[in-house]
Chains A and B, each alone.
Chain A
């Protein structure tokens, strides 16, 4: 019997697990995929938002600035790659300049500091690649970019280190209240086995599935409107300098618009569009959306060279009919952290604190864990100062073998990732932890070697190793195996 079961190990679920791991509680973090951050938490714009965008009366408006400060603090504490780049919202005409004014006032109401509206020419001194048609821009210094999956993972790793049980491949199918606890029927993905999980309190952090989980215990109150956003990643080496800070167009009802931002890996992210789709798991990219994003992005940076693209991806955001985060106690001992859309990544740590207070109000005893072990350090070869490298490699020879040549990731970093609290099970799992395959060759060279290292370190058959999610096998068999023959 768990004290708390968190459904969904996206960034919100991981943040709640991290928060609760600091107390003497038995906590389960339940995830239907084979790793943390497999939904919108890994396929988004990777931005720590400043907090000018949401309206002050909304939960988004109330939590954004606190979340932003907490994100930066956590990134420092947990060694998550991040950068305070600041961001711009650009206006192309006088009408949009009025919008900037409105955003400035809203930002101040939300608690943003240092906001300023600058004339186009002044903006272009900072960002010379921006279009000449930009007449003014809102400067938001307290904002930046981070590695979103590492952020979720880092919080989950600390949670697991402090006793939280991570249950991957566990798809919650039904949920019912039994006098003093919930009983959850779940299916183990891949094996198909059924399992039952019991917990006194349940937190719904199921992202794009959060309305379905809600509806298992309470009358419908909101409906998820799955909204897909597609992106380009441009190779920073080939694209040359594009922008220093995150650049947003003026927001509209449809969202924050096509953004151009630097990534913490030195590349550039361009997107997203916003398309309402039926299939909540459909992360395909489409020709029409990519063309549309390209047009919109070139309006902001006219010389943007999209031929330097190294990857496209799409994420499905949990927009909803409710229009705001749905953070409510919806049934006995059941808390919804649902419909968490943008700026959900930024708000996650603040949402987790709200959840903890709500659990307190439900009467759960909150006693600080005496031997809580926080913090996290990751060795990244690239970050080791030049003068220390020789001694470091002498002491740790595995860091002397480069596996991913595009990003200079060594075998030592991959093996270290394999030994952390939540080890990767797939090639993309290693990618999200160590950064292999993120570069120009997209794993063409390092993929086979990463597969070999996963097999070696985990003692698994190479044939069972997946590229990403459960069932996404890379290989079908050995050569000369008659069962592999099609003709």
Chain B
């Protein structure tokens, strides 16, 4: 027996029938969070009829389901929503769209092929199946960096959680993870959890950030730390965790500009809980195995202007591509990828077009040391209608106005002014088709410069 959830209602199918039916998909979207939902809906809107969303959790919505705070949707919907409300808007839109949904299911492998891509997926209901799809959208999201990744010295006591795991325990499972809390890292989830723990009655003694500037959004520093009197220690880190069974004590030290602890600056906090908010990593194990070309700077796939990866017909969007600060941008990016996937499938019938695309030239976006990364990394100019949106992050904070310059050799192709920039806030600019048409080489260099 196999159960495929369609429009929120479960359709029970015979196992064999289900697999045959699964074989007919034009698009399979891996991940039912904000990225996957938007991509699927957009692909449907642009003409695809047979779409499947595979979600590993029991419900659609992804990590938004545990983000019960507000602040979502200001850009996309022009209103303040909570995470579950934002997700629900998209889940509701699935109604009547005949998009199939398989929850509590894992995609184990993607095997790319010229005649469609093969996926191996599994769930208790559907069993272990091999399915084929013309196109794939990768929308698996990201995961949190852990203690082992940053080598915090000390014991292995209980009470050390990543902020997101703690958020799940508190907001979904309904359990408190601690009474006296210290937060390492000032990423957005850590800031949100600082406020959440205070609201649930815990004491948050400090938020400690190794960099000289905060990692999260300015609004979260104000609304989650300052408003709740949680001190933020910049250029500080945890240098020792003590406690046998459960965390008992944490030592915090100031660091020098090589991030080494400075002797004599020790502060000891009596806490039973350490929450880590030390970065997010796109979750690309499936992409690696599929052989998608990766960008070491984003830890995500290298993509073209429409979200297509180095493997034709495989697209990527959302946090699997690069870590976003705002879900609104995930949505717009994913709508683009969904539309591109639809165009890819619909143009497949047009074989002359496919041949034309094979040797299509592109411009590579390259960065200097002032920029952390860009997405997309490659632009096929002929595929652009009016303009293309380029997302990027700066390497270090700029408190005075600067300009972002795109250079074709010596010549400036485009330049944009920004009053203020920080690595914690993703930036974007739009390059016009006309500007790109004038590029003579196959590289555009992006840099942050003083305004002259």
Instruction: List chain A positions with a Cβ less than 8 A from chain B.
Output: 232-233, 237, 281-287, 290, 307, 309-313, 389-390, 392-394, 397-398, 400-402, 405-406, 408, 411, 440-445, 447-448, 452, 462-463, 466-482, 484-487
In the complex, the answer to whether B15 meets A394 with C-beta atoms within 8 Å is yes
Could you say which of B151, B203, B246 contacts A472, with CB atoms under 8 Å apart?
Answer: B246
In the complex, the answer to whether A487 meets B201 with C-beta atoms within 8 Å is yes
Residues on B with C-beta less than 8 A from A477 are: 175-176
Could you say which of B124, B127, B154, B176 contacts A479, with CB atoms under 8 Å apart?
Answer: B176
Max chain B CB contacts within 10 Å: which of A232, A389, A444, A470?
A: A444
Q: Which one of B80-88, B165-173, B357-365 is at the A interface?
A: B165-173
A-B contact pairs, 22 of them (CB 8 A): A237-B285, A281-B244, A284-B240, A285-B151, A309-B148, A311-B147, A393-B127, A393-B128, A398-B124, A400-B126, A440-B143, A445-B143, A448-B173, A463-B175, A467-B158, A469-B245, A476-B176, A476-B272, A477-B176, A478-B176, A485-B179, A487-B198
Contact with A along B231-245 (1 / 0, CB 8 A): 000000001111011
Residues on A with C-beta less than 8 A from B264 are: none
Segment 280-294 of B: residues with Cβ below 8 Å from A = 281, 285, 288
In the complex, the answer to whether B176 meets A402 with C-beta atoms within 8 Å is no
Instruction: List chain B positions with a Cβ less than 8 A from chain A.
Output: 15, 56, 104, 106, 108, 122-129, 143-144, 146-149, 151, 153-158, 162, 164-165, 168-170, 172-180, 198, 200-203, 239-242, 244-246, 261, 272, 281, 285, 288
Chain A: which residue is nearest B244 at the CB level?
A: A281
Nearest CB of A to B22, in Å:
13
Contact A447 B178, CB 8 Å, known A474-B158, A486-B202: no
Residues on B with C-beta less than 8 A from A232 are: 148, 151
In the complex, the answer to whether A442 meets B176 with C-beta atoms within 8 Å is no
In the complex, the answer to whether A444 meets B162 with C-beta atoms within 8 Å is yes
In the assembly, what is the distance between CA of A287 and CA of B263, in Å? 13
Residues on B with C-beta less than 8 A from A482 are: 201
In the complex, the answer to whether B158 meets A472 with C-beta atoms within 8 Å is yes
In the complex, the answer to whether B104 meets A468 with C-beta atoms within 8 Å is no
Residues on A with C-beta less than 8 A from B170 are: 479
Contact A400 B201, CB 8 Å, known A444-B164, A472-B158, A478-B175: no
Known: A401-B104, A473-B245. 11 other contacts (CB 8 A): A284-B156, A284-B240, A390-B127, A397-B125, A400-B126, A440-B281, A444-B143, A476-B176, A480-B200, A484-B179, A487-B202
In the assembly, what is the distance between CA of A411 and CA of B56, in Å? 13
Nearest CB of B to A133, in Å:
26
In the assembly, what is the distance between CA of A442 and CA of B15, in Å? 35
Residues on A with C-beta less than 8 A from B180 are: 486
Contact A486 B179, CB 8 Å, known A313-B156, A394-B15, A472-B246: yes
In the complex, the answer to whether A447 meets B165 with C-beta atoms within 8 Å is yes
In the complex, the answer to whether B146 meets A442 with C-beta atoms within 8 Å is yes
In the complex, the answer to whether B148 meets A312 with C-beta atoms within 8 Å is yes
In the complex, the answer to whether B153 meets A479 with C-beta atoms within 8 Å is no
In the assembly, what is the distance between CA of A475 and CA of B158, in Å? 9
In the complex, the answer to whether B176 meets A390 with C-beta atoms within 8 Å is no
Nearest CB of A to B397, in Å:
23
In the assembly, what is the distance between CA of A481 and CA of B157, in Å? 24
Contact A400 B123, CB 8 Å, known A408-B108, A475-B176: yes
Residues on B with C-beta less than 8 A from A479 are: 170, 174-176, 200
Nearest CB of A to B225, in Å:
16
Nearest CB of A to B277, in Å:
12
In the assembly, what is the distance between CA of A285 and CA of B126, in Å? 44
In the assembly, what is the distance between CA of A467 and CA of B161, in Å? 11
Could you say which of A233, A411, A476 contacts B177, with CB atoms under 8 Å apart?
Answer: A476
In the assembly, what is the distance between CA of A431 and CA of B2, in Å? 30
Nearest CB of A to B162, in Å:
5
In the assembly, what is the distance between CA of A285 and CA of B285, in Å? 29
Nearest CB of B to A265, in Å:
14
In the complex, the answer to whether B246 meets A448 with C-beta atoms within 8 Å is no
Chain B: which residue is nearest A310 at the CB level?
A: B148
In the assembly, what is the distance between CA of A479 and CA of B168, in Å? 12
Chain A: which residue is nearest B276 at the CB level?
A: A444
Nearest CB of B to A441, in Å:
5
Residues on A with C-beta less than 8 A from B240 are: 284
Contact A486 B245, CB 8 Å, known A312-B148, A481-B176: no
In the complex, the answer to whether A389 meets B246 with C-beta atoms within 8 Å is no
Residues on A with C-beta less than 8 A from B15 are: 394
Residues on A with C-beta less than 8 A from B108 are: 402, 408
Nearest first, the 6 A-B pairs at minimum CB distance are A485-B201, A311-B148, A471-B245, A467-B158, A472-B158, A402-B106
Chain B: which residue is nearest A286 at the CB level?
A: B153
Residues on A with C-beta less than 8 A from B179 are: 476, 484-486
In the assembly, what is the distance between CA of A473 and CA of B56, in Å? 27
Residues on B with C-beta less than 8 A from A487 are: 198, 201-203
In the complex, the answer to whether B168 meets A233 with C-beta atoms within 8 Å is no
Could you say which of A448, A468, A471 contacts B165, with CB atoms under 8 Å apart?
Answer: A448
Residues on B with C-beta less than 8 A from A233 are: 148
Max chain A CB contacts within 10 Å: which of B127, B170, B174, B202?
A: B127
Residues on A with C-beta less than 8 A from B175 are: 462-463, 475-479
Nearest CB of B to A366, in Å:
41
Could you say which of B123, B153, B173, B242 contacts A287, with CB atoms under 8 Å apart?
Answer: B153
Chain B: which residue is nearest A443 at the CB level?
A: B165
In the complex, the answer to whether A402 meets B153 with C-beta atoms within 8 Å is no
Residues on A with C-beta less than 8 A from B241 are: 284
Nearest CB of A to B257, in Å:
17
Contact A473 B158, CB 8 Å, known A444-B165, A447-B165: yes
Contact A390 B148, CB 8 Å, known A445-B143, A481-B176: no
In the complex, the answer to whether A401 meets B123 with C-beta atoms within 8 Å is yes
Residues on B with C-beta less than 8 A from A390 are: 127-129
Nearest CB of A to B181, in Å:
9
Residues on A with C-beta less than 8 A from B285 are: 237, 406
